[in-house]
């Protein structure tokens, strides 16, 4: 089921892009004419990784600082947060968890602009937000989120494209369904040889690729019971370096952009230290171990990169004797306060 749902992402993205066009345009006009002193994201798990990507686009393209809200400030500590002139963006597949819903309701009641990128448009989160934008991923059966994560990334990029009123990013989004179909066919089988017997792994990205490193590490844990940690390429030379020993696996996402050269150099250095490096990079990088698909513009590359990863992750789970659709101790909807 995980593999089937991952492979359906292209169709889900096409459906999303065909719908709510005027609604996104209206939201873009609203954002362009509103002054924000604070911008926040509200999310958990895979959705938080999607929020990380959306926040990166907002900061890089719009110049607005975005922070991830510790939800317990609202749900448990009842802190008197200033809400006016605030943009608050929640991302969720189910829209059910109280610790995502309550902050959005709190900020909306306080006069903030609230947006929910949510798959279940009839959920409490959708009702709580001023702007509820459906992901249109359809019902997801596998516990491990795949198509809903990809559609969350797309929804975040759509939001930014309309806010910035950027035709290049909008055109790049329109080309994503075809790019995702191609990404699903990329051969990442060399990763299975390294990771099937592995006990742990570091997943590395930087900048626009770091949210994908976070998501990949989570999927390794939940679908393959593989102890995985995500690090920025700028941080791995600090404390995490002490863990590197002969044969230690590293998956490095070197997507296009200003961080790519440093990540390629990091891969080379880690090889000299004995690490078993899996460098995922586009086809024009000769040092690569895994080929990263690319999108119409580098800012959308993480979306097609994670599509290639998901296909490999589903096969890896099976190769390790596990069921990716039923991870141990996990359920589809997690409700926390």
| 332 is an active site residue | yes
Tokens linked to 28: 């873009």
Tokens linked to 32: 């362009």
R_g (Cα) of the chain, nearest Å: 19
Answer yes or no: are the C-beta atoms of 5 and 146 closer than 8 Å.
Answer: yes
How far is residue 296 CA from its own chain's centroid? 18
Burial class (CB in 10 A: 0-12, 13-18, 19+), 332: middle
DSSP-derived 3-state class of residue 250:
strand
| Torsion sign over Cα 129, 134, 139, 145 | negative
- d(CA 249, CA 118) in angstroms, rounded, equals 35
Which residues lie across from 250 on neighbouring strands? 202, 277
Cβ contacts of 164 within 8 Å, gap of 6 or more: 28, 61, 62
Answer yes or no: are the C-beta atoms of 252 and 260 closer than 8 Å.
Answer: no
Nearest CA among 51, 11, 48, 42 for reference residue 160: 51
Which residues lie across from 134 on neighbouring strands? 118
Tokens linked to 43: 């999310």
Instruction: Find the catalytic residue in 30, 221, 318, 332.
Output: 332
Active site residues: 332
């Amino acid at each position: 089921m995980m593999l089937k749902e991952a492979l359906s992402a292209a169709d889900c993205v096409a459906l999303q892009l065909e719908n709510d066009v005027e609604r996104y345009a209206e939201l873009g006009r609203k954002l362009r004419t509103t002054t924000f002193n604070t911008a926040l994201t509200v999310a958990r798990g895979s959705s938080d990784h999607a929020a990380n990507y959306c926040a990166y686009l907002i900061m890089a393209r719009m110049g607005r600082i975005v922070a991830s809200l510790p939800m317990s400030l609202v749900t448990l500590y009842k802190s008197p947060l200033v809400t006016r002139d605030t943009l608050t963006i929640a991302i969720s597949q189910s829209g059910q968890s109280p610790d995502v819903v309550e902050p959005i309701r709190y900020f909306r009641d306080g006069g903030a602009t609230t947006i929910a990128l949510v798959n279940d448009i009839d959920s409490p989160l959708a009702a709580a937000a001023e702007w509820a934008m459906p992901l249109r991923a359809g019902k997801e059966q596998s516990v491990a989120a795949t198509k809903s994560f990809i559609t969350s990334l797309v929804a975040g990029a759509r939001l930014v494209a309309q806010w910035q009123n950027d035709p290049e990013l909008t055109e790049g989004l329109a080309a994503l369904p075809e790019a995702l179909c191609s990404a699903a066919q990329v051969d990442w089988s060399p990763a299975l040889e390294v990771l099937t017997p592995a006990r742990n792994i570091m997943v590395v990205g930087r900048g626009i690729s770091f949210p994908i490193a976070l998501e990949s590490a989570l999927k390794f844990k939940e679908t393959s019971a593989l102890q995985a940690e995500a690090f920025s390429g700028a941080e791995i030379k600090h404390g995490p370096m002490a863990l590197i020993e002969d044969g230690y696996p590293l998956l490095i996402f070197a997507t296009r952009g200003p961080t790519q050269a440093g990540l390629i150099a990091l891969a080379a250095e880690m090889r000299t230290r004995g690490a078993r490096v899996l460098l995922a990079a586009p086809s024009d990088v000769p040092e690569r171990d895994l080929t990263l698909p690319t999108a119409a513009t580098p800012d959308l590359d993480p979306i097609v990169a994670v599509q290639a990863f998901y296909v490999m992750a589903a096969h890896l789970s099976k190769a390790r004797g596990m069921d990716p659709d039923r991870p141990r101790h996990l359920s589809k909807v997690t409700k926390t306060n």
